[in-house]
């Protein structure tokens, strides 16, 4: 039993260290740096595509229970701004894709998200949701 507790403790510590490393090593990107003119990605956004980045924002209310994604917004929003059309994509939201089910954070508390930046329109086959900017394999923490 003591050995099992030790193994569980080591796994927990390793996960915590890995999460801390992810939060510390990522390049910072702000909502104001995402785009240049209208809906054109900025030079910084293009340069960081494929890299680990961190963005601070607010979790919009989840679209469904047991989701492995959420929308990060520049300002707190009581309803989700997610769009289903490439023509209407707002420039102040980012789709966040996680590897596990998201534990929702109240919409008015800031969070810091770290993940791999992806740019370009993509339609999720399972949900039908369309996104332009995404952070994949993301983790987040409440600030």
Over residues 101-134, the pLDDT tens digits come to: 998 888 899 999 999 999 999 988 877 778 889 9
Instruction: Identify the burial level of 77 via C-beta atoms within 10 angstroms of its C-beta, where 0-12 means exposed, 13-18 middle and 19 or more buried.
Output: middle
For a pLDDT cut of 70, what percent of the chain falls above it? 74
On the question of pLDDT at 45 being above 90, the answer is: yes
| All residues at 6 or more sequence positions from 13 whose CB lies less than 8 Å from its CB, including other chains | none
Over residues 14-26, the pLDDT tens digits come to: 444 444 444 467 8
Phi first, then psi: give them for residue 45, nearest 5 degrees.
Answer: -60, -45
Kindly indicate the confidence band of residue 82, based on its pLDDT and cuts at 50, 70 and 90: low
Q: What pTM does this model have?
A: 0.76
State the total domains in the chain: 1
CA pseudo-torsion sign 32, 34, 40, 42: positive
How high is the pLDDT of residue 90? 65
Over residues 51-68, the pLDDT tens digits come to: 999 999 999 887 777 888
Instruction: Give SS3 for 82.
Output: coil
How high is the pLDDT of residue 116? 97
CATH number of the domain at 78, please: 2.40.50.870
């Amino acid at each position: 039993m003591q050995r099992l507790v030790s193994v569980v403790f080591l796994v927990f510590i390793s996960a915590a260290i890995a999460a801390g490393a992810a939060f510390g090593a990522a390049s910072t990107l702000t909502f104001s740096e995402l785009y240049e003119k209208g809906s054109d990605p900025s030079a910084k956004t293009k340069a960081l595509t494929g890299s680990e980045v961190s963005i601070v924002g607010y979790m919009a209310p989840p679209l469904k229970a047991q989701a492995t994604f959420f929308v990060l917004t520049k300002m707190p929003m009581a309803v989700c701004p997610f769009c289903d059309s490439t023509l209407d994509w707002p420039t102040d939201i980012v789709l966040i894709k996680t590897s596990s089910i998201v534990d929702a954070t109240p919409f008015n508390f800031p969070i810091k998200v770290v993940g791999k930046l992806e740019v370009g329109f993509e339609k999720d086959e399972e949900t039908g949701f369309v996104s332009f900017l995404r952070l994949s394999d993301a983790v987040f923490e409440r600030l």
